[in-house]
Amino acid sequence: MSIHKVEGIILRNQPFRSSSLIVTFFTREAGKIRGVAKGVHRERENRQAGFEIFTLAEFIFYEKKRSDLHLISDATILESNDVLRVRLESIAYGSYFCELVDELTEVQDPHPRIFDFLQTALKYLPVISPERLTLIFTVKLLGEMGWIPYTDGCVFCDAKPLERGYFSIKQGALLCDGCRSKDQGAPAISPACLELIRMYSRQEMASCLERASSIHAVNELQRLLTQFLNYRLGKILRSRRFLESVRPSLRNT
């Protein structure tokens, strides 16, 4: 078995046997890694902190050639991100970021930009509007994975410029008035929302974070992207269900 040392962000962990964990973390160099951390909960030895969700750590793991479940021998915390685990809001949104990365990426498929997107999103979560941050992160992640909706023109007739139209969830693209009949269930998309998704997909994440956005456009884009992701994934993510269930209480805090 070959030995590797990498920096990664914990996406999730789950109990394994009596004292171990199966840990999934995302790295800049190697993409998503899954491994077993043995003896985490042994008597007089609790190493759970190094494997908490949101934690940035340096991992040493032994790569198994015939399995994608490797052996993690050590985790040194670089950034604990404890601040994200003390408020319900940051737990809900941070968990969604991590589950979305886990769901959309394959094991050991490097995407350095996704690592940077996730690290930036977790960094700014305590200080930026979580709804806007979630949209920016989602659009950037979809773009990196080749899932970004087509917004340059009508997907069928390529009519341009298209400053208003309909968002086809099935096609992941825009429709003009003339082609709406090809997907009559496609909801209308406003010019402000269309401008927002174009900006988020084309500009760097830092620039997007600095730009103010209309709350109406943000809410509209949030609804459309949620429908789009649910359709493409064929399910609603558990973290999304949790986020929607606690959203009313977050508004009252």
Q: Express each pLDDT in 213-245 by its tens digit.
A: 889 999 999 999 999 999 999 999 999 999 999
Nearest-angstrom CA–CA distance, 102 and 208: 23
Please, which pLDDT band fits residue 169 given cuts at 50, 70 and 90? very high
Residues 72 and 20 in one domain: yes
Q: Does residue 11 contact residue 53 with C-beta atoms inside 8 Å?
A: yes
Residues 93 and 130 in one domain: yes
Structurally, the chain folds into a number of domains equal to 2
Q: Express each pLDDT in 26-37 by its tens digit.
A: 999 999 999 999
Of 64, 80, 96, the position where a domain reaches its end is 80
Residues 70 and 96 in one domain: no
* Residue 249 half-sphere exposure toward CB, CA atoms < 13 A: 9
Of 55, 80, 105, the position where a domain reaches its end is 80
CATH number of the structural domain spanning residue 60: 2.40.50.140
- Average pLDDT of every residue of the chain: 92
Structure tokens at 172: 């992941």
Q: Does residue 94 contact residue 84 with C-beta atoms inside 8 Å?
A: yes
Residues 60 and 173 in one domain: no
Q: Express each pLDDT in 75-113 by its tens digit.
A: 999 999 999 999 999 999 999 999 999 999 999 999 999
Range of the domain at 245: 86-251
Residues 230 and 246 in one domain: yes
Residues 90 and 68 in one domain: no
Strand-strand pairing, 150-154 and 31-37: unpaired
**Residues in contact with 29: Cβ distance below 8 Å, sequence separation at least 6, in sequence order:** 6, 110, 112
- The pLDDT of residue 213 is 87
Of 21, 50, 80, the position where a domain reaches its end is 80
**Residues in contact with 54: Cβ distance below 8 Å, sequence separation at least 6, in sequence order:** 9, 10, 81, 84, 85, 94, 98, 122
Residues 58 and 122 in one domain: no
Please, which pLDDT band fits residue 41 given cuts at 50, 70 and 90? low
